[in-house]
């Protein structure tokens, strides 16, 4: 196959008439969008997995400290995918190979589970029962067609727990509509913008997993990177952090402990030149996430309030202002993103676009 790789007659473009080649950029855009979608979903799952592992560890330590002989078993982090088409299959493969999700913690509900034989051989349970999947999973990825979504919402909305996180890839259904269909607020929906004048960096022959192991492609998927012509709306990143706060609130964890934990987990990856002086690195503060007026009335022992993630992604928040005004925080989150995929950055490798749209 390596001998045939560069033969012009075997390339996709070979059979496209000259007058139609102006549309070939759409192929690169589609591939780039698939890679970015899988990368951001995997990053999200990595963060949540690490957060839940830390919460479980803290819970176990508390049980042991009071002499409990029946300390809680660490909770399994369960991920469900609704839709077994191209996106659903690529996402499952990426989560399995690059994420922290073992096969037994990943399930897919699709109308044709018999077409997912390769994934089933890897140990992923595939079936067709959307409500059962939702009642089992902690995070549910919607990878279906827009025309299918209303019926799916009717099937699943009564099975959703308050803490269930719905992550929608259905771009045609806006957040307010999805919130209404599901009667649920714990929803994330990434939005992407396109720059037709940029040069594609997504390659042509690599699968999604292989592409995300390429440092150039991986850095192009960074939340602040404009490379490759596909730009993620940064409101998604805000939603990710407020989702993490909701997980801690569900455990009734004091907000002061939450801030310390999030700083340790998410701001602990440093550039080499700040490794010796971590005091200069950012730490999360209460007013990064809530207004000053609300923060004044929140005692140290009380948890954060429960946040409506749909509102977080549609409106200005305290974290919006903090994130946009802190290049140091942006640098650390970019570094965290790349490090989660095994790619190390230096200060000489800038990926941040200062002109990134906030909404």
pLDDT for residue 9 is more than 90: no
Model pTM score = 0.87
Share the mean pLDDT of the chain.
Answer: 85
- What pLDDT does 22 receive? 47
Return d(Cα 25, Cα 28) in angstroms, integer.
Answer: 5
Q: Which residue in 318, 268, 248 sits closest to 289, CA to CA? A: 318
CB 79 within 8 A of CB 141: yes
Return d(Cα 351, Cα 335) in angstroms, integer.
Answer: 10
How would residue 286 be classed by pLDDT, with cut points 50, 70 and 90?
very high
Return d(Cα 340, Cα 289) in angstroms, integer.
Answer: 24
| Residues of the chain above pLDDT 90, percent | 68
Q: Which CATH number is associated with domain 27-57+75-232?
A: 3.40.50.720
Angle (nearest 5°) at CA 82 between 79 and 85: 115
- The residues, any chain, with a CB within 8 Å of residue 115's CB and separated by 6 or more, are 84
Read off the pLDDT of residues 15-53 as tens digits, 9 standing for 90 and up: 555 545 444 555 667 888 999 999 999 999 999 999 999
Read off the pLDDT of residues 242-259 as tens digits, 9 standing for 90 and up: 999 999 999 999 999 999
Per-residue pLDDT, averaged over 69-93, amounts to: 81
Read off the pLDDT of residues 187-208 as tens digits, 9 standing for 90 and up: 999 999 887 766 678 877 778 9
Domain residue spans in the chain? 27-57+75-232, 234-339
CB 248 within 8 A of CB 258: yes
CB 164 within 8 A of CB 137: yes
Paired strand residues for 187: 166
């Amino acid at each position: 196959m390596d001998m045939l790789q560069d033969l012009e007659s075997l390339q996709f473009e070979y059979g496209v008439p000259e007058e139609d080649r102006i549309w070939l950029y759409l192929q690169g855009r589609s591939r780039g969008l698939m890679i970015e979608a899988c990368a951001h979903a995997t990053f999200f799952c990595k963060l949540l997995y690490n957060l839940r592992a830390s919460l479980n560890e803290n819970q176990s330590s508390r049980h042991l400290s009071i002499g409990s002989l029946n300390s809680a078993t660490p909770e399994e982090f369960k991920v469900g995918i609704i839709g077994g088409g191209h996106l659903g299959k690529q996402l499952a493969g990426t989560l399995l190979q690059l994420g922290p999700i073992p096969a037994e913690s990943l399930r897919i509900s699709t109308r044709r589970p018999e077409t997912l034989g390769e994934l089933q051989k890897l140990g992923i349970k595939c079936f067709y029962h959307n409500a059962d999947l939702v009642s089992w999973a902690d995070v549910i990825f919607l990878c279906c067609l827009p025309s299918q979504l209303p019926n799916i919402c009717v099937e699943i909305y009564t099975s959703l727990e308050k803490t269930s996180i719905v992550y929608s890839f259905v771009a045609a259904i806006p957040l307010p509509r999805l919130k209404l269909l599901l009667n649920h607020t714990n929803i994330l929906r990434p939005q992407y913008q396109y720059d037709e004048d940029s040069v594609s960096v997504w390659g042509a022959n690599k699968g999604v997993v292989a592409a995300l192991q390429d440092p150039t492609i991986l850095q192009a998927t960074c939340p602040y990177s404009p490379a490759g012509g596909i730009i993620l709306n940064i409101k998604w990143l805000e939603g990710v952090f407020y989702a993490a706060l909701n997980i801690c609130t569900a455990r009734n964890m004091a907000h002061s402990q939450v801030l310390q934990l999030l700083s340790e987990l998410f701001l602990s990856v440093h550039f080499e030149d700040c490794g010796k002086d971590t005091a200069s690195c950012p730490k999360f503060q209460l007013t990064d996430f809530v207004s000053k007026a609300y923060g004044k009335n929140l005692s140290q022992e009380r948890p954060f309030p429960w946040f409506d993630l749909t509102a977080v992604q549609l409106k200005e928040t305290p974290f919006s202002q903090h994130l946009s005004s802190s290049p140091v925080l942006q640098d650390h989150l970019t570094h965290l993103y790349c490090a989660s995929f095994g790619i190390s950055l230096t200060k000489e490798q800038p990926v941040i676009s200062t002109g990134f749209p906030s909404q």
